[in-house]
Structure 1
Amino acid sequence: MSAVPQQELPRPGGFPEIRYKRYVPKIGPSGLALFSGITLMCTLGLYRTGQGNLERRELEREKVWSRIHLIPLLQAEVDRDTYRRENAINEREAEIMKNVKGWKAGESVYNSKRYTPQSYVVVP
């Protein structure tokens, strides 16, 4: 007698459904809302950065132009100071060399007609 093998079959009505999905409740904004929000924030940030760059550039231009317009005033101050110092040096030189015949105070020591400012040597 040979026994006929029996195949295992599902129970009547079938097996219960296997839960393979996670049923997590949807909390928070959707992916599209998050993506839109991040895009909006990046756009706003880049816009504000561009506006800041324009303002910084304008302030730098204003600073440069104010310096350019101050140069003649500062140069005039330097010229007045140089003139005053050269006159004082010439008077002091005339006083010191008054006993030397043929000495001309303030005369250039160079063999040139070109103006050369005096160089100041500070002796401690």
Structure 2
Amino acid sequence: MPQDLPPQGGYEAVQYRRNIPTRGLRPVWYLVGMLGVMTYGWRQVFLGQREKTEMAREKMWARIHLTPLLQAEEDRDQVRRYYADLKREKELLGSQSGPYNSERFVRPTYAATPARTVE
């Protein structure tokens, strides 16, 4: 019986690798893109911090410049309240000048202290 022999010129090469076409960009371009995005983000963080610092400085100077005005308003309010209290007290007590103008109030007496001698 004759033996099977390969065909004339041999068999075709066996394709053992998958020939899949590459899709997308090369990995280095993804790295460049991420680096660009991160650079932009850090720049925005830096500018935001600078603006935050500037706003805090502006707020501090505004408070410094407004302090005398606010203090004057507070002083005016205290004076107004003081005179309103005096008026209310005069209406309540009449001719008496204060709450200690009565016989019930006893003025404190102070003990005499010996004179100090200087040597």
User: CA RMSD, aligned part only?
Assistant: 2.6
Q: TM-score, normalised by structure 2?
A: 0.64
For structure 1, list consecutive stretches of 5 or more residues without a partner in the other structure: 1-8, 106-124
Correspondence for 2:40 = 44
Alpha-carbon distance in 1 for matches of 2:94, 2:44: 73
Percent sequence identity is 38
SS at match of 2:89: helix
1:59 and 1:104, CA in 2 relative to 1: closer, same or farther beyond 3 A?
A: same
When residues 21 and 96 of structure 1 are mapped into structure 2, their CA distance, relative to the original with a 3 A threshold, is: same
Deviation per residue, 1:31-84 (Å, 9 max, x gap): 111111111211121112211121122112212321232122111101101101
Counterparts in 2 of 1:68 and 1:18: CA distance versus 1, 3 Å: farther
Give the distance between the partners of 1:44 and 1:29, measured in 2 at CA. Answer: 21
* Structure 2: gaps spanning 5 or more residues: 100-119
Give the TM-score of the pair, scaled to structure 1: 0.62
**Closer/same/farther in 2, CA of residues 10 and 86 from structure 1, 3 Å limit:** farther
The equivalent residue for 1:92 is 88
More moved, 29-38 vs 19-28:
19-28
- Give per-residue Cα distances to partners, 1:11-48, cap 9 Å, x unaligned: 36554333232222233321111111111211121112
More relative contact order, 1 or 2 (CA 8 Å, 6+ apart): 1
**CA displacement, residues 75-112 of structure 1 (integer Å, 9 cap, x when unaligned):** 11011011011012112212321244xx337xxxxxxx
Runs of 4+ in 1 over 4 A off after TM superposition: 12-15
Equivalent residues, number? 96
